[in-house]
Amino acid sequence: MKYSKRHYEKLLSITKNVYGVKVKERKDLWLISSSNCWAGNQSIELGIYAECWYELIAVLAHELGHCLSVRSGKAISMATYMIYIHEVPLSKREAKLILEEERRAWRLGFKVLRDNDIEVDGRMLKFRNARMRGHAKTVKRLSA
């Protein structure tokens, strides 16, 4: 699939207008994203960079996935996530919950793409897998 700015803007518009999630684009960040999805007004901060549309689209979809996960009631608590963010040692249960949350965010985000006729191609799947391996490594290190 040839992704373009048009696909990114479509997802941006869906994120804001369909799901009511604010997106703050930051040109000074590279591939860093976060979502403040536990707040009443959910928002995403996204480091944007040109010419890599499939990564940008995948990252935005993933962060939206976290917001949708919270809405579904299945997401891990903010407290558990903060433990992870601050690299505090994790219990087995917390480690499992965090990886489940990451997996769920990818699944929900990619569903939004597919439901809106934005293909999820092999590069996006590879990108997701690499990110999941990163999380698995971090979780393993923190649970040791």
List interacting residues with Zn ion (CB under 5 A).
102, 105
Minimal distance in Å, beta carbon 66 to Zn ion? 6
24 — phi, psi (to 5°)? -105, 115
Query: Closer CB to Zn ion, residue 94 or residue 102?
Result: 102
Minimal distance in Å, beta carbon 114 to Zn ion? 19
- Could you tell me which of 72, 42, 58 has the C-alpha nearest to residue 7? 58
Q: What CA–CA distances, in Å, run from 135 to 17, 48, 128, 130?
A: 30, 21, 11, 9
Minimal distance in Å, beta carbon 122 to Zn ion? 20
Query: Closer CB to Zn ion, residue 5 or residue 22?
Result: 22
Count of other CB atoms within 10 angstroms of residue 41: 8
Minimal distance in Å, beta carbon 134 to Zn ion? 10
Count of other CB atoms within 10 angstroms of residue 81: 18
Query: Closer CB to Zn ion, residue 4 or residue 129?
Result: 129
Query: Closer CB to Zn ion, residue 10 or residue 107?
Result: 107
